[in-house]
Amino acid sequence: MSFFSKSPWILHYDGSSCNGCDIEVLACLTPLYDVERFGVLNTGNPKHADILLVTGSVNERNIEIVENLYRQMPDPKVVVAVGACACSGGIFARAYNIQGGIDKVIPVDVYVPGCAARPESIIDGVVQGIAALEAKRKKTA
């Protein structure tokens, strides 16, 4: 029996973003959406997390950080890119320091579009991420 679908813990990382998607992510934790109902916990710590929720894009400075965090997360793990910036760089894609979306650095499992992405989309994305998590676990089990 797998418990990952019942207890998916999230690490939220903000790359180079305007914080719009971050506010929407936090909104998911508020009483209006309350993702804790599904056992979702926002941990601040890669070692405790199953799902890496990334907002904002990758720039020169945070490449190593994103890699570091992803490397520290124990298996099985999935990455959910939230918002246009995380998916592809968004409207900042051509800026001098932006490398692009998160998939330039780490493998992304779920893309959640939007600018800013709505909480419902984010929750949908997390749910798909959980399914991907279960699939990975079955593969390695």
Partner 1 sequence: MTSLIAFLIGFPILVGAVLLLVTRASLRNPIVLVSSVAVAAASVATVVTFGNGDGVFFGLPGGIVPGQALIAVEIAMTAFIVVIGLMNRRIAAPIMAVAQLAIALFLEVTGRMPDADPQRLFWFDRLSMVMVLVIGLIGTLICVNAIGYMHDYHRSNPMIKGRRNVFFSLLFIFLAGMFGLVTCNYLPMMLVFWEITTLCSFLLIGYTRTPETIGYAFKALNMNLLGGLGFGLAIALLADQHLGLDLARLTASPASGTLLAAVALLAFAGITKSAQMPFSSWLIGAMYAPSPTSALLHSSTMVKAGVFLLLRLSPAMSGSTVGYLVTFVGLGTFLFVSLVAVTEQNTKKVLAYSTIGSLGLIGACAGIGTPELAWVGVMIIIFHALAKGLLFLVVGTIENRLYTKDIENFDTLLSRLPKVSVLALTGIAGMFIAPFGIVVAKWAAIRAFLQVPGGQGAAMIVIMAFGSSLTIFYWGKLLIKVLSMRSVGEYERSIERRVSRYEWLTEGALAFGVIAVTACIGIISDRVVGPYALSAFPTAGSHTFLNIEPAMLVVMLVAVLFLPLLAVWASTRKYDASDFYSSGRNANASHVMGAALGGSKSVTLRNYYLDGVVNGALMFRVGTLACGGILVAMIAVGMVVR
Partner 2 sequence: MSPAVYGVLFVFLAPVFGGLLAGVDRRVSARMQGRIGPPLLQPFYDFGKLIQKQARQVNPVVEPLLLGHVFFMAVTGALLLSGTDLIFIAFVFALAALFLVLAAGSVNSPYSFAGAERELIVLLASEPFFILMMAGICKVTGASTYAGVLASPQLVAVQLPGVLLAFLLVATIKLRKSPFDISTSHHPHQELVSGLTTDMSGRMLAYVELAHWYESALLCAFMVLLFNWSVPLGLVVFAIAYALEVLVDNSTSRAKWQLVLRSTWAATLIFSGGNVLALFLLSR
2 binds partner 2 (CB under 8 A): yes
13 binds partner 2 (CB under 8 A): no
138 binds partner 1 (CB under 8 A): no
Question: Distance between CA 81 and CA 38 in Å, rounded?
Answer: 20
- Cβ 11 to partner 2, closest distance in Å? 10
68 binds partner 2 (CB under 8 A): no
When the beta carbons of 63 and 93 are compared against partner 1, the nearer one is 63
Binding mask 44-83 for partner 1 (x = CB under 8 A): -xxx--------------x-xxx-xx-xx-x---------
Measured between its terminal Cα atoms, the distance across the chain in Å is 11
Question: Distance between CA 138 and CA 88 in Å, rounded?
Answer: 30
Number of residues interacting with partner 2: please give it, by CB under 8 A.
26
Residue 83 CB partners (closer than 8 Å, separation 6+): 17, 20, 21, 55, 56, 90, 112, 113, 114, 115, 116, 117
Could you give the residue ranges of the DSSP H alpha helices within 1-141? 20-29, 63-72, 83-88, 119-140
Residues of the shown chain interacting with partner 2 in the complex, contacts defined by CB under 8 A: 1-4, 6-7, 30-31, 34, 36-39, 41-45, 47-48, 50, 72, 74-76, 137
